């Protein structure tokens, strides 16, 4: 359970830390302490959790940190609810960690990714100890392969465990790992962050990120892959926020 105060927004209890504070807490955490994990929900994840999807809501409730990955959520928080919800996007979090919080002698375990990502981490950042297990597509349907993922983390103790096998599979693995008393380190459920970090996927220009248009950049790069995510799985957040605003206005003072 999180040691940080939470702020409930649109049905999700966020840890309202900005990027610098979140990175500082992760770097400062005792690497021998019991496993704790960080999730970075975006609009799509909030919509799913709000609908009662326990694959998202369950891990969010158990996470050490629930960081806001979405500038759209921050805009809604500011303009509809007059309350700031800091952004600590997963991709920025990982970039900042590798800029100063992941020394070359750090131990990393990756669940997901491929040999190209692993090689880039070794080459670009001098990381010497990287253990990687890449489950098959649809692995979450096979209990035996899920157990393989968990056993691999247990067999390869690491300061940072990058769970990048897709959402909500990565979040569920993190939740399961947090039930294992012999597992240590910090788990990071950060989606495609390592692909951006290593240059495998080009990230949106900074001005687009600051203008809350990164979703448009990703849609333009991969229309087929992101159309459903943007317009079906994420867009309902606008209606959810509006309804919540109207309900708030109707509550007795």
| Domain ranges for the chain | 7-199
Question: Where does residue 250 rank: exposed (0-12), middle (13-18), buried (19+ CB within 10 A)?
Answer: exposed
Which residue spans within 23-126 are E strands per DSSP?
A: 36-39, 65-66, 107-112
- Residue 123's pLDDT is 92
The dihedral of CA 208, 212, 216, 219: what is its sign?
positive
CA dihedral 117, 118, 123, 128 (to 10 degrees): 160
Cα 104 → chain centroid? 23
- Residue 4's pLDDT is 85
- Residue 129's pLDDT is 93
- Residue 178's pLDDT is 96
CA separation (Å) from 18 to 23, 99, 132? Answer: 9, 17, 29
If we measure between CA atoms, which residue out of 113, 186, 125, 123 comes closest to residue 153? 186
Query: pLDDT per position in the chain (253 positions), as tens?
Result: 557 899 999 999 999 999 999 999 999 999 999 999 999 999 999 999 888 888 899 999 999 999 999 999 999 999 999 999 999 999 999 999 998 878 888 999 999 999 999 999 999 999 999 999 999 999 999 999 999 999 999 999 999 999 999 999 999 999 999 999 999 999 999 999 999 999 888 898 999 998 888 989 898 988 988 888 888 999 999 999 999 999 887 766 5
End-to-end CA distance of the chain: 32
- Residue 50's pLDDT is 86
If we measure between CA atoms, which residue out of 74, 97, 86 comes closest to residue 212? 74
């Amino acid at each position: 359970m999180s040691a940080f105060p939470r702020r409930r927004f649109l049905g999700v209890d966020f840890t309202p830390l900005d990027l610098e504070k979140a990175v500082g807490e992760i770097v400062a955490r005792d690497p021998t302490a019991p496993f704790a994990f960080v999730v970075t929900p975006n609009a799509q994840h909030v919509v799913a959790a709000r609908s009662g999807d326990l694959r998202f809501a369950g891990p969010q409730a158990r996470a050490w940190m629930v960081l806001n990955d979405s500038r759209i959520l921050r805009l809604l928080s500011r303009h509809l609810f007059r309350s700031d919800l800091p952004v600590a996007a997963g991709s920025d979090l990982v970039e900042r960690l590798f800029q100063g919080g992941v020394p070359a002698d750090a131990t990393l375990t990756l669940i997901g990714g491929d040999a190209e990502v692993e090689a880039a981490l070794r080459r670009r950042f001098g990381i010497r100890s990287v253990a990687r297990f890449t489950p098959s597509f649809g692995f979450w349907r096979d209990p035996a392969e899920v157990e393989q993922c968990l056993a691999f983390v247990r067999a390869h103790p690491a300061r940072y465990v990058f769970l990048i096998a897709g959402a909500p599979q990565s979040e569920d693995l993190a939740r399961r790992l947090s039930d294992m008393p012999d597992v240590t380190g910090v788990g990071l459920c950060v989606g495609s962050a390592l692909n951006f970090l290593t240059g495998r996927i080009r990230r949106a220009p900074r001005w687009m990120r600051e203008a809350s248009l990164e979703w448009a950049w990703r849609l333009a790069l991969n229309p087929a892959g992101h159309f459903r995510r943007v317009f079906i799985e994420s867009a309902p957040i606008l209606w959810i926020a509006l309804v919540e605003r109207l309900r708030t206005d109707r509550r007795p003072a």
